[in-house]
Amino acid sequence: MFGYKVPDARAIVFTDTMLAIRALLKNLTFWVLLPALWLPAVAAAQIQPDGYHLVRDCQEEWLVYSSEYRNYVPYVKVMHESEPSVSILINLVQDRHFSFLLKTTRSAFLFVNGALQRSLVPGQWNSVSCDSLYRVYGTGEVMLTVFGLRGTEGLTSLMVFPKTHIAADSIQAITPSVISLKPRSDNAFRDFSVIAWLLILVTGAGVFLSHPSIAHKIVSPGVFFSRDFRSELYNHYRAYSPVIVVTVSMLALVTAFLLLAVEIYVTPILPAVLGVPDRESVWMLVAAFLKIALLCFGLFCFKYFIISVTLGILNMSEIAHVHFIKAVQSSLLFYGALAVGLLLLIFRQPRALEGIGEPLAWSVIAYSSVRYILFYILLNPPGRIINLYLISYLCVVELIPLIIGIKFII
């Protein structure tokens, strides 16, 4: 009558339904957001031990060393999950009065700026006071390294502030130690390489200047493959001749450099008594190099003794000096080329050395096998196809030492 319209019953039902849905959504939003805000706080409280306030989670701050960039890069799980060591930089000015907590699920070792601090017991929290680090190192940043894990798998790291001055009994406080285990220095090895190759080249120059014709024959593949034992090299010179002794000395130096390069850059092969105590010291590397070279020279002399005794027993002593000189020739050519190749890779492409261990071992085995066959052909008198004495002799002086060496390395 006055323009007022009675609401439709369906409109009233629709409005009531929408109001009910909105109220339900409000309740659901509350109950969904409450756990979302509450659970992280509970989880953080469960991760950190009692007696500490959490400052930040340091799980995303870990670094790994990249040989390609020659620097530390951020840890990425898909790329670095198999890395045996991870590092983290602690800013002692920014994190003053805080403590760094870490816990692992496996046994590992903790280093501070390359110095070994302690072994980490699985499942046990360890505390590193930033104040203590600042008093000892007095620098803006220190690097903590965990060695012995697979990436950050099983590693928990937190920056915390202690609620009290006395930490809980379950926390192992770590203070700096004096045990220093530092990573290798590429610059030190490069400087050492210059000294080592100067010694090798000076020794070789001495041979070439004093006996130029004999020196050319020693490094000539054509002379090595020759079966003419009446040539000057095999007819007038013996293993104890001065020029041969100096050549063996040069071979010992080349072998020592090759062993050190493989030990440091490819895979550990040397026993502990021949290891390098400080790889950052050029003179420590030189001392180890000379020690290994002296040992190699002694082994080469011992090999000639075995050759002479064995061939004397078999009434074949006339080829003793021929076999030894040919062994020196082949070793100098092969191991010299191998050492030069490794030297070039160290200076130009050090990353290529990471997976070269197995191919290097197979190349040495292939070389030794081919050399065995060549020695049988070259030392066997003309007209004789099967020489059981020579086969047995070569097995004793060539194959058995190779097998023992492989077994020793493995």
Cα separation, 244 vs 325, whole angstroms:
8
Cα separation, 304 vs 300, whole angstroms:
6
Of 149, 144, 156, 150, nearest to 107 by C-alpha is: 149
Burial annotation 155-185 (CB, 10 A radius, 16+ → b, else e): bbbbbbebeeeebeeebeebebeeeeeeeeb
SS (H, E, C) 176-227: CCCCECCCCCHHHHHHHHHHHHHHHHHHHHHHHHHCHHHHHHHCCHHHHCCC
Burial annotation 335-366 (CB, 10 A radius, 16+ → b, else e): bbebbeebbebbeeeeeebeebeeebbeebee
Cα separation, 92 vs 264, whole angstroms:
33
Cα separation, 176 vs 118, whole angstroms:
9
Of 286, 302, 215, nearest to 250 by C-alpha is: 215
The answer to whether 219 and 332 are in contact (CB under 8 A) is yes
Of 108, 199, 100, nearest to 142 by C-alpha is: 100
Task: Give the model confidence (pLDDT) of 288-333 as tens digits.
Answer: 999 999 999 999 999 999 988 888 888 888 888 889 999 999 999 9
Domains and CATH numbers, the chain: 52-174 (2.60.120), 186-409 (no CATH)
Q: What does the pLDDT read at residue 35?
A: 46
Q: What does the pLDDT read at residue 296?
A: 94
Q: What does the pLDDT read at residue 39?
A: 41
Of 264, 285, 297, nearest to 197 by C-alpha is: 285
Q: What does the pLDDT read at residue 41?
A: 44
SS (H, E, C) 388-399: HHHHHHHHHHHH
Task: Give the model confidence (pLDDT) of 233-242 as tens digits.
Answer: 888 888 889 9
Side chain identity at 140, as an amino acid letter? G
Q: Which residues make beta-bridge pairs with 173?
A: 127
The answer to whether 154 and 103 are in contact (CB under 8 A) is no
Task: Give the model confidence (pLDDT) of 55-66 as tens digits.
Answer: 888 888 999 988
Which DSSP letter does residue 87 get?
E
State which residues of the chain have pLDDT below 50.
1-4, 6, 13, 30-46, 166-170, 176-185
Q: Is 28 left (phi over 0), alpha (psi -120 to 50) or beta?
A: alpha
Q: If DSSP codes are grouped into helix, strand and coil, which group holds residue 344?
A: helix
The answer to whether 102 and 156 are in contact (CB under 8 A) is yes
Task: State the pairing for strand pair 172-174/126-129.
Answer: parallel
